[in-house]
């Protein structure tokens, strides 16, 4: 139940990739039959990805990861507009690929403002609009949080941004392929997505950039991807991304209803069966497969290890879980205190999960939590305080 970290490759996606790992090994730039096969795969995938998000194929740029797409959008668009102004707005809960891109831009003289989120992890469009200045050239707010699943009001932000004002980028890595994503409906200028978030291959991602929007490339090189992302194309990954996008679009409604049902069952079960547990993220506006919690008095890594011993995979934003030993910036921005953030738990459901899996978690998780609480000095202190 850690689909956000790695979702299993769909067999159909694997099938779509295999020819390009085998007989169709050509370079899409070559002017011969071998190149033709590869080129057709890349251009076919471009159409499939564009169809998933309601864009035009020529607006899709393939990248190696969501991180690269976010870097390209934030740095590339800001740098291309530096002559107009050097102010950027992002939300406080953006992915590190966005946040750290803005840090790099700060070294180049850009100023960065961060819009806060409420306790549900939601950005208030008003808070974003308040930060807009005459020299604001870019706003980047994620479409949905990969950590607490909250879906952000991107269309409302777009509608309220001044005309001919800043460009709007959204990191849709967590949402694309999982909920409807329509670049026109959202009113954005650029959007990042990644195949591994919807059962496509890792190393497959894309940035959609609206026609006419200027963006400087991160890499200097040749003519691939219109010169905006030079480097020989990863044809198998791109073909896999295309297929995964096609399937995600085709199965979206059914998948959403199934995953929402499982999610609500898991959320209800955890909150009902485990005392001192809270849901993190928005109670309603959340990604279908995302069930995230904070479990008081215990620490996330120990919880993950015991769950793992029962064959359950999950994730946590606790300090101990992260290599940097820092608690999740998303939870802290939502006003969750450090102690509670230590007990954060994220279950991300995928199409392979079923009710049996959820019931299994609901059987094991309370046992794991109880076991850790029995050895937690915080819990015994709490119980003593309760007694009087």
- Report the C-alpha gap between 114 and 32 in whole angstroms: 50
377 binds other proteins (CB under 8 A): yes
In this structure, the strands spanning 205-209 and 190-194 are antiparallel
User: For other proteins, which stretch binds (CB under 8 A), given 176-184, 215-223, 297-305, 357-365?
Assistant: 297-305
102-110, 161-169, 248-256, 302-310 -> range binding other proteins (CB under 8 A): 302-310
Task: Report, in Å, the least distance between residue 83 CB and other proteins.
Answer: 37
Instruction: Say which residue the tokens 């941004």 belong to.
Output: 161
List binders of other proteins among 309-348 (CB under 8 A). Answer: 309, 318-321, 323, 325-327, 338-339, 342
Rg (CA), the chain: 22
Region binding other proteins by CB under 8 A among candidate stretches 133-141, 198-206, 234-242, 370-378 = 370-378
Q: How many CA atoms lie within 13 A of 7 on its CB side?
A: 29
262 or 340: whose CB is closer to other proteins? 340
380 sits near other proteins (criterion: CB under 8 A): yes
- Within 214-233, the residues that bind other proteins by CB under 8 A are none
Task: Please tell me whether residue 15 binds other proteins under the rule CB under 8 A.
Answer: no
User: Rounded to whole angstroms, how far apart are CA atoms 268 and 134?
Assistant: 46
CB-based burial label for 381 (10 Å; 0-12, 13-18, 19+) = exposed
Considering only 18, 218, 256, 378, the residue that binds other proteins (CB under 8 A) is 378
Q: Where are the alpha helices (DSSP H) in 161-310?
A: 183-186, 235-273, 300-309
Among 167, 173, 295, 298, binds other proteins (CB under 8 A): 298
Residue 192 beta carbon to other proteins: minimum distance, rounded to whole angstroms: 28
CB proximity list for 127: less than 8 A, separation 6 or greater: 115, 116
The SS3 assignment for 135 reads coil
Asked if 388 touches other proteins (CB under 8 A), the answer is no
Phi first, then psi, for residue 117 (nearest 5°) are: -120, 160
Q: Is 277 helix (H, G, I), strand (E, B) or coil?
A: strand
Distance of alpha carbon 105 from the chain centroid: 22
For residue 160 the two structure tokens come to 């309220």
| Nearest approach, Cβ of residue 88 and other proteins (Å) | 25
Separation between Cα atoms, residue 37 and residue 44, nearest integer Å: 11
The residue (of 212 and 377) whose beta carbon lies closer to other proteins is: 377
Alpha-carbon distance of 256 to 377, in angstroms, equals: 41
Pick from 219, 305, 335, 363: which binds other proteins (CB under 8 A)?
A: 305
Contact with other proteins (CB under 8 A): which of 208, 290, 297, 347? 297
Q: Is the dihedral of CA 15, 174, 321, 263 positive or negative?
A: negative
In angstroms, give the least distance from the CB of 342 to other proteins: 5
Mode of pairing for the β-strands spanning 136-140 and 190-194: unpaired
Catalytic residue among 253, 320, 375, 383: 320
Task: Answer yes or no whether residue 274 interacts with other proteins by CB under 8 A.
Answer: no
Torsion angle of alpha carbons 370, 375, 378, 383, nearest 10°? 60
Of 20 and 297, which CB lies nearer to other proteins in the complex structure? 297
Closest CA to 150 of 195, 92, 207, 102: 92
With contacts defined by CB under 8 A, name the span among 124-132, 156-164, 268-276, 303-311 that binds other proteins: 303-311
For other proteins, give the closer residue by CB, 147 or 299.
299
C-beta closer to other proteins: residue 60 or 319 = 319
Determine the Cα–Cα distance for residues 283 and 293; give it in Å rounded to an integer: 11
Strand ranges inside 247-379, DSSP E:
277-279, 290-295, 344-348
Q: Which is nearer to other proteins, 160 or 371 (CB)?
A: 371
CB of 377 to other proteins, least distance (A): 4
Nearer to other proteins, 212 or 388 (CB): 388
Residue with tokens 């200028």: 189
For the CB of residue 13, give the shortest distance to other proteins in the complex, in Å.
28
Active-site annotation holds for 294: no
Q: Which of residues 70-99 bind other proteins (CB under 8 A)?
A: none
| Residues designated catalytic | 320
Q: Which residues bind other proteins (CB under 8 A)?
A: 297-299, 301-302, 304-306, 308-309, 318-321, 323, 325-327, 338-339, 342, 374-380
């Amino acid at each position: 139940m850690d689909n956000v970290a790695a979702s299993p490759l769909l067999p159909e996606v694997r099938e779509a990739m295999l020819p390009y790992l085998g007989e169709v090994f050509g370079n899409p730039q070559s002017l011969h039959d071998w190149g033709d096969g590869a080129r057709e795969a890349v251009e076919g995938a471009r159409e499939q990805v564009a169809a998933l998000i309601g864009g035009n194929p020529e607006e899709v740029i393939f990248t190696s990861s969501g991180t690269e797409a976010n870097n390209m959008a934030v740095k590339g668009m800001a740098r291309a507009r530096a002559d107009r102004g050097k102010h950027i707005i992002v939300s406080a809960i953006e992915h590190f690929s966005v946040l750290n891109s803005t840090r790099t831009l700060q070294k180049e003289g850009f100023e960065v403002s961060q819009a806060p989120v409420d306790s549900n992890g939601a950005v208030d469009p008003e808070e974003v609009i308040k930060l807009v200045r005459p020299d604001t050239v870019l706003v980047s707010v994620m479409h949905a949080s990969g950590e607490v699943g909250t879906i952000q009001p991107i269309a409302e932000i777009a509608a309220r941004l001044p005309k001919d004002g800043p460009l709007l980028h959204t990191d849709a890595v967590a949402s694309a392929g999982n909920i409807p994503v329509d670049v026109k409906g959202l009113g954005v200028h650029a959007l990042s997505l990644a195949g591994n978030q919807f059962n496509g291959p890792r190393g497959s991602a894309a940035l959609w950039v609206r026609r006419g929007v200027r963006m400087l490339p991160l890499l200097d090189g040749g003519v691939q991807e219109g010169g905006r992302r030079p480097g020989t194309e990863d044809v198998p990954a791109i073909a896999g991304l295309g297929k995964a996008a096609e399937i995600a679009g085709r199965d979206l409604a059914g998948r959403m209803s199934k995953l929402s049902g499982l999610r609500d069952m898991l959320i209800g079960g955890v909150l009902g069966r485990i005392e001192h547990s809270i849901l993190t993220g928005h109670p309603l506006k959340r990604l279908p497969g995302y069930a995230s919690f904070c479990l008081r008095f215990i620490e996330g890594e120990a919880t993950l290890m015991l769950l793992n011993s029962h064959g359950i995979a999950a994730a946590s934003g606790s300090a101990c879980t992260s290599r940097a030993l820092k608690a999740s910036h998303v939870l802290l921005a939502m006003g969750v205190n450090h102690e509670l953030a230590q007990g954060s738990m994220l279950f991300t459901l995928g199409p392979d999960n079923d009710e049996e899996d959820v019931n299994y978690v609901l059987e094991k998780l309370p046992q794991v939590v109880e076991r850790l609480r029995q050895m937690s000095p915080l819990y015994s202190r709490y119980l003593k305080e309760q007694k009087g």
